[in-house]
């Protein structure tokens, strides 16, 4: 029977391993004895799967395939990987399903200063699980994704009523709505600007931004748009560090007029 042998010579049989903590409590270094070969895998409160790791071992907790593992080292003990598994075990050359799973399975490994996360669809116990790497980070912090990346923190677009003016003269009456959403350092915009009465407005139409542009780029951002009535394509320039954007036509003329509506969208960098 296997037992725990502590460095002070105390041997505890397996029948006491799962006693309540108040009945069996030990602080110190211990080793597993009475096995004739190196231990590849151990199950705690479960029958362990047949792991086969080069120079390593696995501990399954509660259910087959729910494991902490380390391996792919030579000589044994010089482990270069450590990881977690859910629903699978490594069988020497590939991953296998540890049970007939109704849910997908996954494995997480840390190696050479990096991290990799792989998944597979549900499968049948003993069959090969074809794992697909869906996310990894190397030692330099470079991340690689497979599939679609969704930024759930950015949420829905917000709206505001911008300040509308012209670089020359005065627009008598104008209104507008700007929809915006920031993802990381990118500010995405979609705007509708209604010029009811242009007055003496000339030069360029200016629209206030939700957040000042970054000063790090050194180069302005150019968004695109269209004048609804005239049909002209529009240039929308966001200057470095600017708090307003300037709108002109494709051929650098003033885009405003009585009853004109200006549409534009795009993104610029924020600090």
Domain limits, the chain: 1-36, 41-145, 158-269
Omega prior to 83 cis, within 30 of 0: no
Per-residue CA distances from 205 to 195, 202, 255, 265 (Å)? 10, 7, 7, 15
Whole-number pLDDT of residue 109 = 85
Whole-number pLDDT of residue 38 = 54
Whole-number pLDDT of residue 25 = 41
**pTM recorded for the entire structure:** 0.51
Whole-number pLDDT of residue 82 = 84
Tokens of 84: 């977690």
With tokens 């697909």, the residue in question is 132
Each of the 271 residues of the chain gets a pLDDT tens digit; together they read 444 444 444 454 555 444 443 334 444 444 444 444 456 788 888 888 888 877 678 888 888 888 988 876 433 334 577 888 999 988 888 889 987 666 788 888 887 778 888 888 888 888 999 888 888 888 888 888 776 555 555 578 999 999 999 999 999 999 999 999 998 889 999 999 999 999 999 999 999 999 999 998 788 999 999 999 999 999 999 999 999 999 999 999 999 999 999 999 999 999 8
CATH, domain range 158-269: 2.60.90
Whole-number pLDDT of residue 149 = 57
CA-CA-CA-CA dihedral for 83, 86, 87, 88, to nearest 10: -10
* Residues 217, 238: Cα–Cα separation, whole Å: 12
């Amino acid at each position: 029977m296997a037992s725990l042998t502590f460095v002070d010579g105390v041997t505890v049989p397996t029948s006491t391993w799962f006693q309540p903590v108040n009945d069996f409590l030990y602080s110190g270094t211990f080793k597993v004895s009475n096995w004739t070969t190196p231990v590849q895998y151990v199950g705690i409160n479960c029958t362990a799967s047949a792991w086969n790791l080069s120079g390593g071992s696995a501990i399954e907790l509660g259910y087959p395939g729910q494991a902490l593992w380390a391996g792919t080292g030579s000589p044994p003990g010089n482990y270069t990987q450590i990881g977690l598994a859910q629903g699978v075990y490594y069988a020497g050359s590939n991953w296998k399903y540890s049970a007939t799973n109704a849910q997908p399975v996954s494995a997480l490994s840390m190696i050479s200063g990096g991290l990799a996360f792989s998944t597979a669809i549900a499968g049948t116990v003993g069959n090969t699980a074809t794992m697909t790497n869906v996310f990894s980070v190397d030692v330099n912090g470079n991340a690689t994704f497979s599939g679609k990346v969704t930024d759930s923190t950015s949420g829905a677009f917000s709206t505001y009523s911008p300040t509308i003016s012209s670089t020359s003269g005065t627009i008598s009456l104008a209104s507008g709505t700007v929809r915006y959403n920031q993802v990381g350092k990118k500010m995405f915009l979609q705007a509708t600007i209604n010029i009811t009465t242009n007055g003496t407005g000339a030069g360029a139409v200016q629209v206030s931004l939700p957040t000042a542009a970054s000063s790090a780029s050194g180069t302005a951002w150019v968004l695109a748009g269209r004048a609804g009535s005239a049909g002209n394509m529009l240039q929308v320039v966001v200057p470095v560090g600017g708090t307003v954007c300037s709108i002109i036509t494709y051929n650098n003329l003033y885009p405003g007029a009585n009853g004109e509506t200006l549409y534009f969208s795009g993104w610029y960098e924020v600090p």
